[in-house]
Structure 1
Amino acid sequence: MSGRVIVVDDEAAIREAVQQWLELSGFRVQSCAGAEQALTLVDRDFPGVVVSDVRMPGSDGLQLLDKLVALDRDLPVILITGHGDVPMAVQALRQGAYDFIEKPFTPERLLDSVHRALDKRRLVCENRQLRQQVAFKDRIEAQLLGVSRPMESLRRQVLELAATSVNVLIRGDTGSGKERVARCLHDFSPRAGKPFVALNCAAIPEQLFESELFGHESGAFTGAQGKRVGRIEHADGGTLFLDEVESLPLAQQVKLLRVLQEKTLERLGSNKSIRVDLRVIGAVKPDLLDEVRAGRFREDLYYRLNVASVQIPPLRERREDIALLFEHFAGQAAQRNGREAPPLTPGELARLLGHDWPGNVRELINAAERHALGLSAPQPEVGSQSLAEQMEAFEAQCLHNALQRCQGNIAQVMALLQLPRRTLNEKMQRHGLQRASYRPAGSVDED
């Protein structure tokens, strides 16, 4: 199909003739006998054009034009009339009409105008999508920080999965940011306006699990003095995040599986089924398949949760992000406490880059906060990296700092680091650093 067209005319014969002409040329056409009906078919993202007669009972074409322009000033509206004159045409164009065609007209005249209008509309819609993607990218970069290739890949994967409703299993070491990734999967999804409900399965006593997940009715058990909505029901329409999902008791695994299959639940002490619509995101540190093989986790539930999976890279595998993250969290801590974070010395930076960070981002946040408060200089022990690996990490950080300082201006970076262009390009490519990531929004490349 070449595009969508809405035809509005109170005369059935003309409406049907115009629809036939357009459909024979490959357009997808919806016809309406009046303006009010047409308005129900159009929103700001409508990917087509409107062709309307001017003289109609009730709301005429000029009134329809006013309402469509108020909805979206970039929506092409082509007006047709048998009573047109120059003043009316000028008025219509001033009001925002794309074109004005007088009756009688040839099919070719109308088709030419519709083709041009659709080309314009297609360009407008593509530009809007591009702007939305840029805004989307900026927002997730503020949530999942890092300039390393693993983090770029993670952000891309999260955005792709966020657009779906499939259940996701997040794998990652302790402190790697599994809840932050789960939150991004929710916040950048169509479910963002609904609840995000998090539950750490390892922190709930087994005897309270059923009530916590499914809720209970008053009197369901000793101490149940009122009705309680469980976490699953509270997440209806949104996302349920189960951290350390491997700790979920087997008895509750069976009931959770049934919820995922049937999309219903029963509160403890009730036989009434309650429909729920939710996405489940599980987070694990161990390999959940090992838990399945050991008989501690149900295989059928594993496959229900693991429709898609996300692996969070440990901090030791993205060392070029360490200094960036440290500065970010130290700055946040200093701001909260009304002070400035002291700058890192070269020796402190070297120790940060050489440490293996077994506690990942959580450990780094702790070190950054202590540094910001002046409690102690960061003194992590150097890990198992070779000297060559530590030097690579330090070089990547130096390049990142220079690109950030020069806002991606390559000539300035070359002068600052005293590097020829070819060497700088090779080093940026090796470390996965993209000049565009450092350029100010809306800037024009100078070379």
Structure 2
Amino acid sequence: MITSPAKTNDLAASQTKKTPRLLLVEDDENLLRLLTIRLQGEGYDVTPSNNATQALRMMFNNTFDVVLSDIRMPGLDGLSFFDEIIHRYINLPVVLMTAHGTIKDAVAATQKGVFGFLTKPIDHDELRKVLARATQKNTTSDIGDWCKDIVTRAPEMTKLLLQAHRIAGKNVSVLINGASGTGKELLAKAIHRASDRANKPFVAINCGALPENLLESELFGHTKGAFTGAVQSSTGLFREAHGGTLFLDEIGDMPTSLQVKLLRAIQERTVRPVGSATNIDIDVRIISATHKDLQLEMEEDRFREDLYYRLNVVNLRIPSLKERFEDIPLLTNHLLKQSAERHGVKVTRFSSDALNRLGTSDWPGNVRQLVNVVEQCVALTQTPVIPLSLVEQALSELSQNWPTLTQARDSFEYQYLCRLLQLADGNVTRASDLAGRNRTDMHKLLKKHGLNAADFRGNKD
């Protein structure tokens, strides 16, 4: 998630000073109780559990900085428990304990990536040191400061960030794919921050938010008097981003005629302001993003193939929130703290059933929708713990929202084509004439909506 710039440093400071949260898993009730008391005395916020299965459920509803677990336990043992953890929470350090420690166990555990391995009876000084190192590692993640605004522990997101970091220093164009609300601009900013252009401007524009003539002027600039209303010259976003990064969001919505000019600017590394006869040199890295399938857009002649290959040198796909369900509790708690602080509300957490409901929602609006739900719950709650009823209310209201313009247009287009084919009795040529389109266009529209003209023969009203 994005933290407001004014609060980024405060957030980072609070994260380094917070009480480390430790999940303790031990089937010996007496030792569990003793270690809990000792570790609380060391300043840890300890959550105890006497079995690994219960501990995994706790991890879904809570965020931990380190896990301390016994190896020999009934049911799911410590090594199997660790296997589950590394598939869900890549950077979470795990320390294992056993009264039956052998060199073979220690080697197997460390080869798998276990942070520490202790034998019983536990040497408290040794335990203190290994936990201190583990919590320090977790607060200074290997991923780095460049993506500190992205809250995640999901394996797929971690792999994506590592890949993004590898290509950040290379001056290549990047195309980010992902559904609306997944955080494409946030990833683009992180790549910029990790690159050698970090001290230069990051400039963003939504290519679907402006009509073609205004979008051209915004990108390339214009001279005074170039068109009605151009009372003064404009440098344009390419020149504003000189030396830095230009982020073209929703590139799939850019008009095809403007795509030609964008391709020329990228190839020639120059721009020509509207109304000018002079080309101006630019040095800009292009990162673009879309929720559309550009392969399909090219097949439908709505996106230029040559531009696609210029933009898609490296392709990164952001998973939907539903695909990174491990992050839902983490994001929810992070957003809750931000919202409560921003609004001055004394709210501490979501109830367990409320958090479970959030974790099982479909989230068609992804992280952006989660932000809205948390904001509404914080605004309406009258208790420190947000109940399930408020979460249900927020989810219900969001599901009744208006469709997006694209969804509404596609829905109308589908209904229009169905009625058109009924009137034409499934005859594509006649349907094309009625719609004022040529047969090629009509066939493309039918393919887009999965319609078969033959299905409408004999169905004329």
Range class of TM-score, shorter chain: 0.5 to 0.7
Query: Contact 1:170–1:283 (CA<8 Å) still a contact in 2?
Result: yes
1:280 aligns with 2:282: no
Which residue of 2 is the match for residue 377 of structure 1? 390
Which residue of 2 is the match for residue 205 of structure 1? 211
Which residue of 2 is the match for residue 232 of structure 1? 238
Tell me how far apart the structure 1 counterparts of residues 177 and 231 of structure 2 sit (CA, whole Å).
Answer: 39
1:243 aligns with 2:256: no
Specify whether residues 186 and 141 from structure 1 end up closer, same or farther in structure 2 by C-alpha distance, changes over 3 A only.
closer
Specify whether residues 154 and 340 from structure 1 end up closer, same or farther in structure 2 by C-alpha distance, changes over 3 A only.
farther
1:187 aligns with 2:200: no
Deviations 1:152-210 (A, max 9, x none): 11110111121111000000011000010011111111011111110001111122122
2:160 aligned to 132, 154, 157, which one?
A: 154
Query: Contact 2:336–2:349 (CA<8 Å) still a contact in 1?
Result: no
* Alpha-carbon offset, residue 374 of structure 1: 3.0
* Alpha-carbon offset, residue 135 of structure 1: 7.2
Deviations 1:360-379 (A, max 9, x none): 00001111112222357212
* Counterpart amino acid of residue 377 in structure 1: L
Tell me how far apart the structure 2 counterparts of residues 229 and 349 of structure 1 sit (CA, whole Å).
Answer: 48
Partner secondary structure for residue 158 of structure 1: helix
1:142 aligns with 2:148: yes
Tell me how far apart the structure 2 counterparts of residues 241 and 141 of structure 1 sit (CA, whole Å).
Answer: 17
Query: Contact 1:172–1:312 (CA<8 Å) still a contact in 2?
Result: yes
* Counterpart amino acid of residue 360 in structure 1: N
Map 1:70-89; keep pairs closer than 5 Å: none
Deviations 1:283-321 (A, max 9, x none): 110111111110001000000000001000101111111
Between structure 1 and structure 2, the one with the greater Rg is: 1
Which residue of 1 is the match for residue 173 of structure 2? 167
Which residue of 2 is the match for residue 350 of structure 1? 356
* Alpha-carbon offset, residue 138 of structure 1: 3.5
Which residue of 2 is the match for residue 121 of structure 1? none
Give 5+ residue unaligned stretches, structure 1.
1-130, 382-447
1:223 aligned to 220, 229, 233, which one?
A: 229
Deviations 1:59-100 (A, max 9, x none): xxxxxxxxxxxxxxxxxxxxxxxxxxxxxxxxxxxxxxxxxx
Specify whether residues 226 and 136 from structure 1 end up closer, same or farther in structure 2 by C-alpha distance, changes over 3 A only.
farther
2:318 aligned to 312, 321, 324, which one?
A: 312
Specify whether residues 270 and 174 from structure 1 end up closer, same or farther in structure 2 by C-alpha distance, changes over 3 A only.
same
Which residue of 1 is the match for residue 342 of structure 2? 336
Tell me how far apart the structure 1 counterparts of residues 308 and 293 of structure 2 sit (CA, whole Å).
Answer: 11
Which residue of 2 is the match for residue 57 of structure 1? none
Q: 286-295 or 203-212, which moves further after superposition?
A: 203-212
Which residue of 1 is the match for residue 182 of structure 2? 176
Tell me how far apart the structure 2 counterparts of residues 191 and 226 of structure 1 sit (CA, whole Å).
Answer: 30
Which residue of 2 is the match for residue 25 of structure 1? none
Aligned positions, number: 250
Specify whether residues 299 and 316 from structure 1 end up closer, same or farther in structure 2 by C-alpha distance, changes over 3 A only.
same
Tell me how far apart the structure 1 counterparts of residues 346 and 174 of structure 2 sit (CA, whole Å).
Answer: 40
Query: Contact 2:325–2:359 (CA<8 Å) still a contact in 1?
Result: yes
* Alpha-carbon offset, residue 243 of structure 1: 0.7
How many percent of aligned residue pairs carry the same amino acid?
45
Query: Contact 2:340–2:346 (CA<8 Å) still a contact in 1?
Result: yes
Tell me how far apart the structure 2 counterparts of residues 141 and 249 of structure 1 sit (CA, whole Å).
Answer: 32
Deviations 1:386-414 (A, max 9, x none): xxxxxxxxxxxxxxxxxxxxxxxxxxxxx
Query: Contact 1:150–1:318 (CA<8 Å) still a contact in 2?
Result: yes
Partner secondary structure for residue 364 of structure 1: helix
* Alpha-carbon offset, residue 141 of structure 1: 5.0
Query: Contact 1:170–1:310 (CA<8 Å) still a contact in 2?
Result: yes
Specify whether residues 141 and 235 from structure 1 end up closer, same or farther in structure 2 by C-alpha distance, changes over 3 A only.
closer
Give 5+ residue unaligned stretches, structure 2.
1-136, 382-388, 397-461
Specify whether residues 241 and 136 from structure 1 end up closer, same or farther in structure 2 by C-alpha distance, changes over 3 A only.
farther
* Counterpart amino acid of residue 177 in structure 2: R
* Counterpart amino acid of residue 300 in structure 2: A
* Alpha-carbon offset, residue 340 of structure 1: 2.6
Tell me how far apart the structure 2 counterparts of residues 276 and 294 of structure 1 sit (CA, whole Å).
Answer: 32
* Alpha-carbon offset, residue 136 of structure 1: 6.9
RMSD of aligned residue pairs (Cα, Å): 1.9
Tell me how far apart the structure 2 counterparts of residues 279 and 248 of structure 1 sit (CA, whole Å).
Answer: 18
1:296 aligns with 2:302: yes
* Counterpart amino acid of residue 171 in structure 2: S
Partner secondary structure for residue 257 of structure 1: helix
Tell me how far apart the structure 2 counterparts of residues 141 and 378 of structure 1 sit (CA, whole Å).
Answer: 29
Query: Contact 1:216–1:267 (CA<8 Å) still a contact in 2?
Result: yes
Partner secondary structure for residue 280 of structure 1: strand
Tell me how far apart the structure 1 counterparts of residues 376 and 361 of structure 2 sit (CA, whole Å).
Answer: 16
Q: After TM superposition, which residue ranges in structure 1, 4 or more long, deviate above 6 angstroms?
A: none
Query: Contact 1:145–1:151 (CA<8 Å) still a contact in 2?
Result: no
Partner secondary structure for residue 353 of structure 2: helix
Which residue of 1 is the match for residue 330 of structure 2? 324
Tell me how far apart the structure 2 counterparts of residues 372 and 173 of structure 1 sit (CA, whole Å).
Answer: 26
* Alpha-carbon offset, residue 140 of structure 1: 4.0
TM-score (norm 1): 0.54
Query: Contact 2:176–2:290 (CA<8 Å) still a contact in 1?
Result: yes
